[in-house]
Amino acid sequence: MSSALVLLSLVVFLPSVGALALAFFPRKSEDASRWFALATTVVTFLLTAWMAIPGDGKSAQFQLGVAEMQNVFNVSWLPSFGVQYYMGVDGISFPLVLLTTFLSVLAMGAAWPIAKHVKGYCILFLLLETGMLGAFVALDFFLFFIFWEVMLLPMYFLIGIWGGPRREYAAIKFFLYTMLGGVCMVVALLALYFNSDVTKLIGKLSPAEWRATHLLDAYDSRIDAAVTGDARTFKAVELMQADIASGAATEHTFNILAMQQLGQKTDAFDAVLLGGKSIQWWAFVLLFIGFVIKVPSVPFHTWLPDAHVEAPTPISMILAGVLLKLGGYGLIRICYPICPDAAHDLAYFVVTIGVVSMIYGAFAALNQKDFKRLVAYSSVSHMGYVVAGLGVWSAAAATGYDADYWKMGMNGAMFQMIAHGISSAGMFFMVGVLYDRVHHRNLNEFGGLFAKMPVYCCLAWVIFLAGVGLPGLCGFIGEACVTLSVWKFSPVLAVVTAFTVILTAGYILWAFQRVYLGAEYKGPHEEALVPSTWRERAIGATLVAAAILFGVLPYQTVFRYMTPSVDKVVADLVAWQRRDDAVAPAAAMAGASTEPEAATPAANAVSANE
Amino acid sequence: MDLASTLPTLLGAAWLLPLASFVIVWLFGPRLGHAGKHAGYVATGAILGSFVLALIALLSWTGKHGVFVEAHHDESHAGAPTAPPRSESSPSKSPVQFRLVAAAAEGEHADYAHYDHEGKAYYTGDWYTLAKFGKLQLTIGYYIDSLTVVMFCMVTLIASCIHFYAQGYMHDELHDVEDHEVTLSDGHHLHRRGRYHRFFQYLSLFCFSMLGVVLSGNMAMTFVFWELVGVCSYFLIGFYIERKSASTAANKAFIVNRVGDFGMLIGMMALWSSLGTFNFGDMAVEDAASGETRSQAGIFSQVRPGPSHELVVPEGMKQAAAATGSEDTERCGYWLLVIAGVGIFCGCVGKSAQFPLHTWLPDAMEGPTPVSALVHSATMVAAGVYLAGRFYPVFAPEALLVIAVIGCITLFIAATIAITAVDIKRVLAYSTVSQLGYMMFALGVGGWVAGMMHLVTHAFFKSLLFMCSGSVIHAVHTNDMTKMGGLRKKMPWTAYTMLVGCLAIAGAGIPFLVGFSGYYSKDAIIAQAIAYKEVNPLWGVTLFVAAGGAATTAFYMFRLWYMTFSGQPRDAHKYDHAHESPKVMYYPLVVLSVFAIAVAWPITIVGDAAEGSPLVHLLNQAVPDGVGSMEGAVRGTLAASVAIPSEHASHVDAIHSAATMLAFSTALGGFLLATLFYGWKYLDPAEVRNQFPQVYRFLWNKWWFDELYDALFVKPAHLLAAVAAWLDKNVLDRIIDGSAKVTLVASRYDDWFDRLFVDGLVNWFGRWTYGVGLAFRRLQTGSVRQYAMFVVLGTVVLFFLLSLFLGTAVGR
């Protein structure tokens, strides 16, 4: 327990400790600041990389095949509100944590050309890393929200100070959009919090499930060591109930895992709130808006092109590589499990949003003249796969609750997040390399780069093909899994999804032709087009290697970590669906042929009356 | 020697060798010898190694399964000689019954566990898993039957020849190159460094991808390598990256292929979500729960369950139909089957450049000629036909009708365009499109063996023809046939090997006796078309189109040969500089012409004297279950008028001799017409041209397809893109910026309100307080006596008030 506390806290706060240390650096020491910040990101990366070596559960290394949270710790923070310093990783968050630390190293490496207020840049960058990592590992909704907002400020300044000519507009736009998302989220957060009631879980959860929520961790110390096994859990539940009854503890909780159980197994969020819709319906909608602003999906996407165009290269890398992933992560961690009823209700809406983003982003990308804007729109298109893949709720009573295709879609969506992290960060980096040289991004004023920068162009080619979704590179697996899973949900949407492959090839290859191929360079500052430096090659080659590795060995690199946890999310939701169908009489008729299976055997349920 | 383990090993190694070469050349290319010269050796060595391995695989296959199949029309023809007797006695729920011959039982690696099936002989298994979701699995595996082995040999052999040839052809790339097709803005030609190693790097990747398609054990893997083939062609067509035309052609090839892939994805989704597997063959899977090995039915045996192997609507498709709430699940499921078949075929349409996606192939001539030879014969375009052949069991009669009609249209359109083309490579390109149309047509009318055989024979003579044309271009530095002529004196090797190619593609032969390879395959196709006409009077017109296409083929091929090699040189300057190509280039031509002549010959290698060539017999071993064993014609469910004749029907003597005569006479007709125009020059082509100017213009402009597609698809796509971008800028951003403005205005009013009322109130209060303060200040006189008086007065007043209020209070 305590090792997890130390390790995860270290991972999350090491960058901010580095930022603190940087604050005492002398003003002029630019190179020292860069190297120090880079070293901090490298150490953080190495820590998480060590965690990625499959372990046996005894050490803090990641244990394969475990769907539940690992390395969890839960320390009381603001007890009167039930806010906890509560973190852990599972197959969903861990790959994203690793992606974050990995891209942070590369983005710090890509920040070398930044010459303005280097120290300040490094400090903000490291704070940003803390925010991102914290949001991925936080299991307390309040904590999650704090990290979510912590990300926002450094990002605002990083775009607003180090950005391009319209940086203030872009920064404000980014800030307002994300704030809007934040407001939606906080409303949903409070609604869920004040309707949560952990005592409703009593009688609904098995001892193992109780343990998995980590609600009882605080009570363990008060129980005699002689009491072990299930009895210990029962005892802890009793203590908790007593504390709540006496007012020593609150029945409300920010515990995300407990909220998931409340959403799936109790009626805590089912009360009608507004317009005939339940609390969880409204919470879902608000959270969904908050998260798809981050993804971003059409129609909440217009901050992205501006933010990307104005942001400096490394910030674009982080923005596309990590920040957008928080949207998808929020959907799978919070939206879906806490509000299953609403998610089921709105499944078609969600997938449609995803598919529309795919095709709309692709069309918009086709028309761009600014290279970076094109890549930004490609992000909109590619992240559409994530939303669509998460949403393909294809399990239904008529098919015997066959959830395999949904599992495929959700796994594909999660893979797509990782893959897009590599490919889009790579694409932004490649654009940045050019911008550093010629200071323009007009697609029609490039050409003939192969002769001038052969190594760079070769790397760029691979990265852009990864964006096209070429097999053997990372982009393919996620897109293929999502695309193949959509048909089971809706053939019409599936056809639109499949159509995107044509457009994707169109806009990327066309852009590539205009920028890299051809006989001669057509724009200004031709003399500045010098071959890539070792630093640029190292970053590019690392991304290329990652793209190939993820594309060739998706199971070994990603799925074996990810699948158990993602499958569990799906399985839990489908179990909820079975129970829900069994309750609804009409649906029960349809489901009669398939035996409804009680996911929580009543015999195992812990009851306080025992 | 156990085939179940050796075949995958052999072919797997043959498949991976080019990949190894690709990686080596990619990473160390420029450092391999002077200017990367050794890259050529690495790549050639790798593909030669592959060829040797494939040959060993072929020998081991024939060692186990023999070459010859006993008799065509025996129903159990497909079973290899060693295949076990059918175990029909044990009824089982599983649609296909298996008998474990189990290499696994002998302690072999579990991956090679092999089931001997009651149908045709094949070996399938997985190498590794890409992803696994519940029961669903995406894997990289293999499916090996005799078609796989034959294709491996063919691809590696032709690719080897092309590698050798390319070492000569790409020689210029070893030093700095001046590209005469690219003029810079300063008026000079482009001067650039050679890219010899790059070329071989792509070539290796291309071979690897193509072999992957051939070896693939499931649809997902096929799609993976399918796309890789596409991207390799993109690299190679766009090899001269400085030329705008080349990079545009490369983009076009890739994007048009993606259009096909769009259809293919739909087909794949339909299959995947209803059958739950992508495996072609039946796979041994280990049950995680019980640890038992059981068989998981692949696509083929789900669609055509044994023992009859007749096409049925699989259970999964019926369930999928039921899930949509359909009443008639059988019919709805059948629709799904047709969609799946046509969808997959869409992919083949893209890759094999069939109408309406044929437009990329002629543009693909922008690549170096060895690439054209490879793309047009053994790889890429062959991949489409190969997949159509591999996927044959899934095609319902309706899907086959689509295939036949598309093939027929393609062969006709392409043949007509080839008549007017004067670019030597473009003539060949259109002839390729036309021949691919033949193959598809053959498949569509039920001639599986005929189509596959034409795929193999065509690969040999088309690669030969392309390499000959490359040799000519190498000599005269132009593609334009109107600047050639009389070259056979200068380059006899090229001229006569090319003549062999022309004869082969025209299907020349002495009827009923012997002929070039094309003679056999084309005969088989025509025969099948006749059989098709007999059961399908409605669609019988396709036979005449096919026959007309055969005549046209002979015409334009000999036109090409005459224009290039015979008569008087039209461009004396070019003629004077022409020379025969180096040995490294024309030796491969000789090798290929031997195969172009003899690959389909009915020779007997060992003992067993059966009719037909070893090639046909080998292919016969791979005929999909249920296709070869059809008794009569199979009719469609949705369109009952469509019937697919059994391939045996075309072996009837009457049909066979009619086909032979028809093929012979059309080819001869085409040949004579070409000779009249271009050989003896009795007729003047220019006159004909002037006679029918519209027709000529129509053909010259390739039926206006490019312009049509540009207007129909490219422009609208750009328009939509502009609309999307406009929406973002002018609607969504307007809303955002507008709401920001509204907020600003609101805040201005807020500010005004603040200043006027809130501040006003506060300020008023402040002012008032101040005024009061000022008024009171007057009291501050500084005089002690006055203060004392105030104190006294105040005390009196206080006392008076207190006594008044308190007194009454107390009194109460």
* Amino acid at residue number B650: S
- Substitution target from A517, A550, A556, A567 for chain B, most B beta carbons within 10 A: A517
- Of A104-108, A293-297, B155-159, B372-376, the range with the lowest mean pLDDT is B372-376
Q: Which residue has the higher pLDDT, B703 or A381?
A: A381
How far apart, in Å, are the Cα atoms of A90 and each of A23, A566, A569, B156, B214? 34, 9, 11, 47, 40
One-letter amino acid at B78 equals A
d(CA B156, CA A154): 58
What DSSP designation does B623 have?
P
In Å, how far is B193's CA from the nearest CA of chain A? 8
Asked if omega into B356 is within 30° of 0 (cis), the reply is yes
User: Closest Cα of chain B to A94: distance in Å?
Assistant: 18
Number of A/B CB contacts below 8 angstroms equals 168
CB contact under 8 A, B717 and A503: yes
With CA atoms as reference, the chain B residue closest to A556 would be B130
- The least confident of A403-407, A434-438, B214-218, B752-756 is B752-756
Helix (H) or strand (E) holding B768: helix B759-777
- For A435-453, the pLDDT digits (tens) are 988 888 888 888 888 888 8
Q: What is the ipTM of this complex?
A: 0.88
Q: Report pLDDT digits (tens) over B383-399.
A: 899 999 988 888 888 88
Share of chain B above pLDDT 90, in %: 9
Nearest beta carbon to residue B721 from set A364, A491, A519: A364
Of the candidates B636, B614, B637, B634, the residue with the CA atom closest to the CA atom of residue B624: B634
- Supply A316's token pair: 């674009």
Return d(Cα A330, Cα A269) in angstroms, integer: 18
User: What average pLDDT does the structure give for chain B?
Assistant: 80
- Chain B CB contacts of A505 under 8 Å are 254-255, 258
Tell which residue, B118, B124, B121, has the closest CA to residue B143: B124
Tell me which residue in A411, A472, A477 faces B133 most closely, judged by beta carbons.
A411
Percentage above 70 pLDDT, chain B: 90
pTM to 2 decimals? 0.87
- CB contacts under 8 A, B 233-272 vs A, are 234, 238, 241-244, 247-248, 250-251, 254-255, 258-259, 261-262, 265-266, 268-270, 272
Residues of B in contact with A407 (CB under 8 A): 133-134, 136
Chain A nearest CA to B362, separation (Å): 20
A601 burial level (CB within 10 Å; 0-12, 13-18, 19+) = exposed
* Residue B707 CB neighbour total at 10 angstroms: 11
pLDDT of residue B134: 81
pLDDT at A101: 94
Q: At what angle do helices B146-169 and B37-65 cross, to 10 degrees?
A: 160
**Residue whose pair of structure tokens reads 């193959």 in the numeric block:** B439
Q: What is the pLDDT of residue B211?
A: 92
Query: What distance separates the 2 farthest-apart alpha carbons in chain A?
Result: 82
> How far is Cα A320 from Cα A282, in angstroms, rounded to an integer?
28
Contact A517 B276 (CB under 8 A): no
B140, β-bridge pairs:
B128
Question: How far apart (Å, rounded) are the C-alpha atoms in residues B48 and B164?
Answer: 10
**B475 versus A319: which is more confidently predicted?**
A319
Query: Are B133 and A404 an interchain contact pair (Cβ–Cβ within 8 Å)?
Result: yes
Task: Look at residue B95 in the predicted model and tell me its pLDDT.
Answer: 31
Q: Is A594 helix (H, G, I), strand (E, B) or coil?
A: coil
Q: Is the pLDDT at B76 greater than 70, yes or no?
A: no
Interchain proximity A302–B732, CB inside 8 Å: yes
In B, minimum Cα distance to A551 occurs at B130
- What residues of B are in contact with residue A513 (Cβ under 8 Å)? 247-248, 251
d(CA B404, CA B446): 9
Residue B604: what pLDDT?
56
**B contact test, residue of A501, A515, A521, A548 with most B CBs within 10 A:** A501
Contact flag A302-B133 (C-beta cutoff 8 Å): no
Q: How far is it, in rounded angstroms, from Cα B526 to Cα B542?
A: 10
Q: Which of A303, A491, A520 sits opposite B184 (nearest CB)?
A: A520
Residue A221: count of CB within 10 angstroms of its CB = 7
Going by pLDDT thresholds of 50, 70 and 90, the confidence category of residue B101 is very low
- The chain A residue lying nearest B221, using CA atoms, is A471
The closest of B30, B324, B47 to B193, measured between CA atoms, is B30
Report the pLDDT averaged over residues B136-140: 87
Interface test with B, best of A169, A555, A556, A563 (most B CBs within 10 A): A555
Averaged pLDDT, B448-455: 88
Residue A367: list chain B partners with CB under 8 A. 718, 721-722, 724-725
Residue B82 φ/ψ, nearest 5 degrees = -90, 0
Confidence of residue B809 (pLDDT cuts 50, 70, 90): low
pLDDT at A3: 82
The average pLDDT across B323-348 equals: 84
Does residue B223 sit at the A interface (CB-CB below 8 Å)? yes
Phi, psi of B634 (to 5 degrees): -105, 135
Nearest to A554 among B131, B190, B227 (CB): B131
B219-230 burial: b if 16+ Cβ within 10 Å, else e: bbbbbbbbbbbb
Q: What is the mean predicted confidence (pLDDT) over B415-444?
A: 87
Location of structure tokens 């861990």: A94
**pLDDT > 60? residue B635:** yes
Residue B376 and residue B458 in contact, taking contact as beta carbons nearer than 8 Å: no
Evaluate if residue B114 carries a pLDDT over 80. no
Q: Residue B116's pLDDT band (boundaries 50, 70, 90)?
A: very low
Residues A477, B130 contacting (CB under 8 angstroms): yes
Q: Check CB contact under 8 Å for B273 and A451.
A: no
Which residues of chain B have a CB within 8 Å of the CB of A593?
none
- Split at pLDDT 50, 70, 90, the class of B630 is low
Among B228, B250, B724, beta carbon nearest to A360: B724
For chain B, the C-alpha Rg in angstroms (whole number) is 38
- Which of B216, B239, B244, B269 is the best substitution to test chain A (most A C-beta atoms within 10 A)? B269
What is the pLDDT confidence band of residue B672, given thresholds at 50, 70 and 90? confident
Query: Which of A543-557, B48-62, B751-765 is predicted least confidently?
Result: B751-765
Alpha carbon dihedral B56, B62, B67, B72, in 10-degree steps, equals -130
Q: How far is C-alpha A89 from the chain's CA centre?
A: 13
What residue spans of A490-559 are helical by DSSP H? Answer: 491-516, 534-552, 554
Closest residue, chain A, to B232 (C-alpha):
A470
Q: Does B520 touch chain A (CB under 8 A)?
A: no
Q: Are B732 and A486 within 8 A, CB to CB? A: no
Q: Which of residues 718-757 of B touch A (CB under 8 A)?
A: 718, 720-725, 728, 732-733, 736, 740
> How far apart are alpha carbons B510 and B516 in whole angstroms?
9
Is residue B704 within 8 angstroms of chain A, CB to CB? Answer: no
Residue range B328-342: mean pLDDT, rounded: 86
Picking from B255, B322, B728, the nearest residue to A509 by CB comes out as: B255
Q: Residue B650 to residues B655, B656, B664: CA-CA distances in angstroms? A: 6, 6, 17
Say whether B269 and A477 touch across the interface (CB within 8 A): no
* End-to-end alpha carbon distance in chain A: 29
C-alpha distances (whole Å) from B171 to each of B83, B177, B574 are 51, 10, 20
How many Å apart are CA A161 and CA A172, to the nearest integer?
12
Of B184, B254, B273, the CB nearest to A505: B254
**What band does B84 get if pLDDT is binned at 50, 70 and 90?**
very low
Identify which of B190, B272, B717 has the shortest CB distance to residue A366.
B717
Residues 6+ apart with CB under 8 A from B681: B567
Shortest distance, CA A502 to any CA of chain B (angstroms): 5
State how far residue A31 is from chain B, nearest Cα, in angstroms.
Answer: 32
pLDDT band for position B288 (50/70/90)?
low
Please identify every stretch of chain A with a pLDDT value under 70, giving residue numbers as ranges: 1-2, 584-610
Give the Cα separation of B138 and A551 in Å (integer).
13
* Residue B273 near chain A (CB below 8 Å): yes
